[in-house]
């Protein structure tokens, strides 16, 4: 990155610059939009009729469970597992919310990959 000039962002401008950057990333694809718009996902959940979603026990959930937040993690014995690796939005909540968000993320990723609808359906069935 020799010769590249970085723009200094004033603290008062930081929120607007970050918001603009996030919006540009989300505009790339439906999957990127779903990944970057946690707030709208939870607004959608709140708008659902009572009892339309399964109610699980109040436990620690990821809060932002999508494909980009899953990845390989090795333990001390060298075993590697796929786990949630982004925990900055964890909260006590309904575990169904994480499963619904992950399912939406899977469906959007499949849509962006031009996989046939039956493949998407099988992936979601296996998730459940």
Q: What is the pLDDT of residues 61-94, one digit of tens each?
A: 999 999 999 999 999 999 999 999 999 999 999 9
pTM for this prediction: 0.77
Domain assignment present for residue 1? The answer is no
Domain assignment present for residue 21? The answer is yes
Domain assignment present for residue 102? The answer is yes
Domain assignment present for residue 2? The answer is no
Domain assignment present for residue 123? The answer is yes
Contact 105, 31 (CB under 8 A): yes
Token pair 């993690």 is found at 73
How many separate helices (H) and strands (E) can be counted in the chain? 5, 4
Q: Which domain holds residue 121?
A: 11-127
Domain assignment present for residue 18? The answer is yes
Query: How many independent structural domains does the chain possess?
Result: 1
Does pLDDT of 18 surpass 80? yes
Q: What is the pLDDT of residue 85?
A: 92
Task: Please report, rounded to a whole number, the percentage of residues in the chain having pLDDT higher than 70.
Answer: 98
Q: What is the pLDDT of residue 3?
A: 67
């Amino acid at each position: 990155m020799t010769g590249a000039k970085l723009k200094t962002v004033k603290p008062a401008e930081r929120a607007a610059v970050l918001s603009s950057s996030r919006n540009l990333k989300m505009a790339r694809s439906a999957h990127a939009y779903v990944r970057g718009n946690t707030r709208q996902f939870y607004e959608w959940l709140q708008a659902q009729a009572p009892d339309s979603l399964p109610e699980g026990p109040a436990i620690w959930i990821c809060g932002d469970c999508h494909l980009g937040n899953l990845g390989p993690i090795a333990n001390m014995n060298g075993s590697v597992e796929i786990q949630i690796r982004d925990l900055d939005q964890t909260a006590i909540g309904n575990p169904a919310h994480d499963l619904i968000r992950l399912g939406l993320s899977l469906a959007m990723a499949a849509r962006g990959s031009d996989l046939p609808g039956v493949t998407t359906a099988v992936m979601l069935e296996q998730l459940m």
